[in-house]
Amino acid sequence: MVARLVVAAPASGAGKTTVATGLMAALTRRGMAVSPHKVGPDYIDPGYHAMATGRPGRNLDPWLVGEELVAPLFLHGAAGADLAVVEGVMGLYDGAGASEFASTAHVARLLDAPVVLVVDAAKQSRSVAALVHGFASYDTRLRFGGVILNRIGSARHEDICREALAESGVPVLGAIRRSDAVATPSRHLGLVPAAERRTRATRAMDAVAALVEDSCDLEELVRLARTAPPLRARPWTPGPATALTGPAAAMSGAAVTRTAPDPESALPPGAPVRIAVAGGQAFTFGYAEQAELLTAAGAEVVAFDPLTDEALPEGTRGIIVGGGFPEVHAAELSANESLRGEVAAFGGPISAECAGLLYLARELDGRPMCGVLDVEAGMTGSLTLGYRDAVAVRDSALTRDGERYRGHEFHRTAVRPAPERPLFRWRGGADGFADDRVVASYLHLHWAGSPQLAARFVRACHRAPATPVRGSAPPAPGTSRPTR
């Protein structure tokens, strides 16, 4: 059995990331193996969770992977842990669109985990009791464990809040004073990732761990986590993908039943193929299960940093460039002409999502990039954000015509011109450049929900040539290979 609890809040900005990360760090410093999890598609918070615990931060999102995989993925990530902390998303009951689906409450029910509500008490006192009562009674299926008061102004303020909550019968598990020492800087897409501010983030992590340890009843929180009953699910394993059957045959990434072996998932003969995955400060977005799926499908996954590495790893047969903030690092990425040249000349499969799409463009905000795609990319004044229920409308290196993929978009950039024949379509939108070698789009996918992607990518890599000769130059503007 895995002891576990969910850290939630009435709304975004209440301090649940501070409390959840501080709790992870404080318990880890006490010698516990803590498994960190995040509800929803967010990539940034898991980076801080990993720093706090020394374990990969993992996402739990019913929209991206289907309800049936939430508990198995949780158990996979929490293997060997003493306790798991799950940070919620937005407000407790906020889900996809107008529904509760994929909300923190939904995931807490799927995990049968007790919920701790973090309340911003900065501008209220007795009213916190009414607020907490409403959240605790709104859905009686939840196992509501107690409340942590955040941004308390004084001892008197704390006493008033505690007295009001005592009358309502809700346990107070902590009261945290206001502190600027644990603030995390933000920018156009939320918090600055931990990988971009590691030294300062480490100092802040020490401060938030001490703050939570001094302000919260850790023993009671651990006791509460241990009240969670055993889960009936089996841990997820990144084994060979299986085929979809029955009415779900065209639904990848949704709640589907997989029974028959997928003929495309059989391990190719020969030694593992080397797949280079972009990392470093510019490309920090990715789900841990992707590398595990690729390894299980017969790949050797190696990291490379487009900011600092002058060449792809020797013997690379495939490239994956996930999300991140290339727009923040455009000058440094552009200055690395040697690596840009290798990516431009690379003849193997390439999978790119969002930030990866920008890196493959001819230019980003006027600075030369790799030129794999004959498009220009740049910042815009608007935010594109939301879940997408997409259908692949043609075959590509990763997809098959008619398959359904659930993903999400999160960016303030655009590429021009738009794809003439988009790979994906959804209600009100379309996106994706693709051919038999390159797939690039703004759509973020969780490959655990579509495990055939890893198998297909590895098989494509087996058919591809290895890394080309060093020193190839990027294509001149207007001469890049179009992938439309």
> What backbone phi and psi angles, to 5 degrees, belong to 174?
180, 155
d(CA 44, CA 285): 7
Label the pairing between strands 83-87 and 34-39: parallel
pLDDT of residue 477: 39
The two tokens of residue 145 are 């464990």
Computed over its alpha carbons, how large is the radius of gyration of the chain? 23
Label the pairing between strands 433-434 and 58-60: unpaired
**Exposure string over 135-156, b if 16+ CB within 10 A, otherwise e:** bbeebeebbbbbbbbbbbeeee
Beta-bridge partners for 175: 149
User: Is 354 considered catalytic here?
Assistant: yes
User: What's at 445, amino acid-wise?
Assistant: L
In contact, 446 and 454? CB cutoff 8 Å: no
In contact, 41 and 59? CB cutoff 8 Å: yes
pLDDT of residue 465: 73
pTM value > 0.85: yes
Torsion angle of the four alpha carbons 89, 94, 99, 105, in this order, in degrees rounded to the nearest 10: 70
Residue whose tokens read 């390894």: 295
In contact, 35 and 49? CB cutoff 8 Å: no
d(CA 153, CA 109): 33
Which three-class secondary structure string do you get for the chain? CCEEEEEECCCCCCCHHHHHHHHHHHHHHCCCCEEEEEECCCCHHHHHHHHHHCCCCEEECHHHHCHHHHHHHHHHHCCCCCEEEEECCCCCCCCCCCCCCCCHHHHHHHHCCEEEEEEECCCCCCHHHHHHHHHHHHCCCCEEEEEEEEEECCHHHHHHHHHHHHHHCCCEEEEEECCCCCCCCEECCEECCHHHCHHHHHHHHHHHHHHHHHHECHHHHHHHHCCCCCCCCCCCCCCCCEEECHHHHHECCCCCCEEEECHHHCCCCCCCEEEEEECCCCCCECCHHHHHHHHHCCEEEEEECCCCCCCCCCCEEEEEECECCCCCCHHHHHHCHHHHHHHHHCCCCEEEECHHHHHHCCEECCEECCCCCCCEEEEEEEEEEEEEEEEECCCCCCCCCCCEEEEEEEEEEEEECCCCCCCEEECCEEECEECCCEEEECCEECCCCCCHHHHHHHHHHHCCCCCCCCCCCCCCCCCCCCCC
d(CA 275, CA 270): 15
User: Residue 199: CB partners within 8 Å, gap ≥ 6?
Assistant: none
In contact, 333 and 307? CB cutoff 8 Å: yes
Whole-number Cα distances in Å, 35 to 8, 93, 227, 252: 17, 23, 17, 28
pLDDT of residue 354: 95
Give just the sign of the alpha carbon dihedral 253, 256, 261, 262. Answer: negative
> pLDDT tens track of the chain, all 484 residues?
899 999 999 999 999 999 999 999 999 999 999 999 999 999 889 999 999 999 999 999 999 999 999 999 999 999 999 999 999 999 999 999 889 999 999 999 999 999 999 999 999 999 999 999 999 999 999 999 999 999 999 999 999 999 999 988 899 999 999 877 666 554 344 456 666 666 677 788 898 999 999 999 999 999 999 999 999 999 999 986 544 432 233 333 343 334 445 666 566 666 799 999 999 999 999 999 999 999 999 999 999 999 999 999 999 999 999 999 999 999 999 999 999 999 999 999 999 999 999 999 999 999 999 999 999 999 998 888 999 999 999 999 999 999 999 999 989 999 999 999 999 999 999 999 999 899 999 999 999 999 999 999 999 999 887 765 444 444 443 334 444 5
pLDDT of residue 204: 82
pLDDT of residue 434: 96
pLDDT of residue 466: 72
User: Residue 347: CB partners within 8 Å, gap ≥ 6?
Assistant: 437, 464, 465, 468
Nearest to 473 by CA among 366, 344, 376, 369: 344
pLDDT of residue 258: 41
Side-chain-side CA neighbours of 383 within 13 Å: the count stands at: 8
Burial category of 123 from C-beta neighbours within 10 Å (exposed 0-12, middle 13-18, buried 19 and up): exposed
